[in-house]
């Protein structure tokens, strides 16, 4: 098949979040046996730079066109590209594709591609990646976009991909016919987790003793991730368990590591940490990728994602691949299959979060059970080999 992927951020702009990794992994898997092209923009926190031209860039075997934005600042503030050359090139190139896969629909490239796809009778898929409904941030702008473009993009799609049953219900609220909705989860690349780093490298780098209990968060440092709630719960956990002063923790300390790029919330988070005087118990590493991120996952005792809203948790899947238990809030769409299976799901409340963390952190048997269940589930369901096969079979229905 000749497949076109449309993503308004793309590799190597990993700081833009999990959608970049998901679109990259899908395109990468498909490029083994198919003719793949990705169109994206040059936007990132700092514009991407290209030594030998921005079209047909080879990204680990994937051909990518990076359209230049008139204003990177405008893109980052509104999420709308200004790719002046895109309509002309897309109009010429689009006729050669069998199917198009649009990642997130509230973007300029999605407007252009969906328009020319309809004109040329080329089927396209929309995968909203958790952004079906217009809420949390820029709601007014999202509602305006939907009235002008968004509803048309969704309703004219041959099929839409939902990450979970919750997201399927969101598509239904947007008026999408149920028979056009397919549930397609996210996954990880199993090959990247066949050989893990040795235990202790992350702890050694950040002066964390072998016996210390280590809680890990991996994700963007953004208000939506619930890090303020995590700090509140962590502060209570430290004081209720006495840290070094109580035998409950065998004289060892409890540490929290926050791994990820700043997405506008770091300064507020640091103020909260300072207010609680938690500097000695808390490490903020900045973004870590590939082996360095795996080192953090291998060395932690518990992975936590306390989000105010989360459609899926790719970093949680990565923790599962390292046999680590999870704690999520019930605001995460995957909490139903996580709870009492590969970890615990709690209310969005500091006491509920603290109790869930504490229950796993100090119960080695429960922690081991959840970790083993998680690794098994990754192999059986949440990996890109299985998910890509599902996606390709869906494509074939519309070609």
DSSP codes of every residue in 196-237: PPPTTHHHHHTT--TTSEEEEEES-B-GGGTHHHHHHHHHHH
Quote the tokens at residue 84: 């002046």
Residue 123: name the closest of 91, 92, 153, 158 by CA. 158
Domain ranges of the chain: 2-187+383-397, 192-380
CA distance 79 to 125: 20
pLDDT at 141: 83
Residue 47: name the closest of 65, 73, 21, 19 by CA. 73
List, as own/partner pairs, every contact residues 384-387 make where C-beta atoms lie below 8 angstroms and the sequence separation is at least 24, other chains included.
Answer: 384/25, 384/26, 384/29, 384/187, 384/188, 384/189, 384/190, 385/29, 385/187, 385/190, 386/187, 387/26, 387/184, 387/185, 387/186, 387/187
CA distance 266 to 271: 9
CB-based burial, 280-294: b 16+ in 10 Å, e otherwise:
ebbbbbeebeeeebb
CA distance 149 to 108: 10
CA distance 218 to 318: 10
Sign of dihedral through CA atoms 256, 259, 260, 261?
positive
Domain 2-187+383-397 = CATH 3.10.20.30: no
Residue 388: name the closest of 218, 250, 191, 208 by CA. 191
Two domains, one topology: 2-187+383-397 and 192-380: yes
Quote the tokens at residue 284: 């903020």
pLDDT at 79: 77
- Three-state DSSP at 279 gives helix
Quote the tokens at residue 160: 């839409």
Q: Which residues contact 325 (CB under 8 A, 6 or more apart)?
A: 302, 303, 342, 343, 344, 360, 366, 367, 370, 371, 374
pLDDT at 136: 59
Beta partners for 59? 62
pLDDT at 89: 95
Which of the following CATH numbers is that of domain 192-380: 3.40.50.2000, 3.40.50.300, 3.30.420.130, 1.20.1070.10? 3.40.50.2000
Q: Which residues contact 129 (CB under 8 A, 6 or more apart)?
A: 18, 19, 22, 103, 104, 163, 311
Q: What is the pTM of this model?
A: 0.88
pLDDT at 251: 58
Output the tens digit of pLDDT for each of the chain's 399 residues.
999 999 999 999 988 888 999 999 999 999 999 999 999 999 998 899 998 899 999 999 999 999 999 888 888 888 788 888 899 999 999 999 999 999 999 999 999 999 999 999 999 999 999 888 876 567 778 889 889 998 999 999 999 999 999 999 999 999 999 999 999 999 999 999 999 999 999 999 999 999 999 999 999 999 999 999 999 999 999 998 876 444 344 557 999 999 999 999 999 999 999 999 999 999 999 999 999 999 999 999 999 999 999 888 899 999 999 999 999 999 999 999 999 999 999 999 999 999 999 999 999 999 999 999 999 999 999 999 999 999 999 999 999
CA distance 44 to 172: 32
Report the run of H or E that residue 256 belongs to, with start and end.
Answer: strand 254-259
pLDDT at 250: 53
């Amino acid at each position: 098949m000749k497949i076109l992927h449309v993503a308004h951020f793309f590799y190597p702009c990993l700081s833009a979040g999990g959608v970049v990794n998901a679109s990259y992994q899908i395109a990468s898997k498909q490029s083994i046996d198919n003719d793949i092209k990705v169109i994206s923009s040059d936007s990132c926190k700092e514009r991407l730079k290209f030594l030998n031209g921005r079209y047909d860039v080879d990204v680990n075997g994937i051909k990518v066109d990076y359209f230049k934005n008139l204003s990177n600042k405008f893109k980052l503030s509104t999420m709308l590209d200004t790719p002046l050359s895109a309509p002309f090139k897309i109009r010429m190139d689009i006729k050669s594709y069998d199917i198009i896969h649009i990642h997130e629909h509230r973007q300029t490239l999605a407007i252009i591609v969906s328009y020319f796809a309809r004109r040329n009778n080329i089927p396209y898929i929309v995968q909203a990646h958790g952004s079906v409904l217009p809420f949390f941030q820029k709601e007014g702008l999202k509602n305006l976009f939907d009235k002008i473009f968004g509803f048309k993009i969704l309703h004219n799609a041959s099929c839409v991909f939902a990450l979970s049953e919750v997201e399927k219900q969101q598509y239904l609220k947007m008026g999408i016919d149920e028979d056009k909705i397919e549930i397609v989860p996210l996954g990880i690349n199993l090959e990247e987790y066949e050989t893990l780093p040795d235990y202790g490298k992350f702890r050694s780098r950040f002066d964390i003793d072998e016996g210390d209990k280590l809680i890990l968060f991996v994700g963007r440092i953004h208000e939506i991730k619930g890090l303020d709630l995590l700090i509140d719960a962590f502060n209570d956990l430290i004081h209720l368990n006495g840290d070094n002063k109580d035998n409950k923790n065998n004289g060892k300390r409890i540490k929290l590591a926050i791994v990820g790029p700043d997405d506008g919330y770091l300064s507020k988070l640091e103020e909260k940490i300072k207010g609680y005087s938690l500097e000695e118990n808390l490490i903020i590493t900045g973004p870590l990728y590939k082996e360095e991120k795996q080192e953090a996952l291998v060395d932690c005792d518990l992975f936590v994602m306390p989000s105010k809203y989360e459609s899926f948790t790719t970093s949680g899947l990565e923790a599962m691949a390292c046999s680590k238990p999870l704690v999520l809030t019930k605001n995460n769409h995957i909490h139903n299959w996580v709870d009492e299976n590969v970890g615990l799901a709690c209310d969005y409340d500091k006491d509920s979060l603290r109790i869930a963390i504490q229950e796993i952190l100090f119960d080695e048997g429960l922690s081991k059970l959840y970790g083993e269940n998680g690794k098994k589930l990754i192999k059986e369901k949440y990996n890109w080999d299985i998910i890509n096969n599902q996606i390709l079979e869906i494509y074939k229905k519309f070609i």
